[in-house]
Homo-oligomer: A and B are copies of this chain.
């Protein structure tokens, strides 16, 4: 059977209506409120065909039709027209308040959640390799050294180091010199035993302090806190009757508390790049590969802070989410984010 123009229009009408109401759509509804001028009987015949082809399905014999995952997929792929959203208000807010990228992302999550009424998550930027750009050890008081490490992405990490006995200032100056000449430009993999041995030889004494310092540097570089994920509006899920079922909703909400799970979700395989539109991907139902999301859809977008440094934004809602609006909003937002990050760089 062929999916002709008319069937497509009917399918579109069914999905549009279902997105609005959340109720199964009957033939009469389509007959009345579409500009096709066909009787309900004809629609019924076509619907029967569409069902046979797998685009729609009946919850039970005498009910209207709802879109199947396949139907949604077709809708998203072919019938969605990108349009410019109204994301202006965010821009101003961000410019004022946000100092750090973290804050920006947190606010983006919140903004999206309140504007779309879906649940949102934003993963922090993932830096591919972290190299040391600058190290400084300072004596804070008799008992503490402070290690400040600047990475090549200009991220700053610091860590207090407790020491047994005070160190003379000149030793610290020397230590700083050695550390910087030896370690700058290296990533954690390149700091092997040979390098460490070289530092110790140059310093002569105070190997204990060096051990502490190197441990801190190692931890800092390996540190996975760029696994940060910001979520917002998780409870929006409760707005949609088809998702607010006791146990299912709890599952979903719990997942939103777990950063690991969030990262897994955002790490879904991409279905082919679409560079023009900021890599916006739509996952419907089982396509999410997550059991507890089988009644949901997720839209993700990839933002880029600088070459090779990117993160993801995800929006989770019911299958009948307003894809049009979500994709539009995301598209518009991504453009703005690009600008903001350019400025901050």
Residues of A within 8 A of B (CB): 99, 133-134, 136, 138, 140-141, 144, 146, 148, 150, 154, 156, 158, 160, 219, 232-235, 238-239, 244, 246, 249-250, 253-254, 257
Contact = CB atoms under 8 A, between A and B. Distances in A.
Nearest to A134: B140
Oligomeric state, in copies: 2
Given A146-B148, A146-B150, A146-B156, A238 B253 contact: yes
Nearest to A238: B250
Given A140-B134, A146-B156, A148-B146, A246 B238 contact: yes
Nearest to A219: B99
Given A140-B154, A233-B257, 8 more contacts: A99-B219, A134-B146, A138-B148, A146-B148, A146-B150, A158-B158, A234-B253, A244-B246
B158 A148 contact: yes
A144 B136 contact: no
Q: Which 5 A-B pairs have the closest CB atoms?
A: A235-B253, A156-B158, A238-B250, A235-B250, A134-B140
Nearest to A239: B250
Contacts of A133: 140-141
Given A140-B150, A144-B154, A160-B156, A232 B253 contact: no
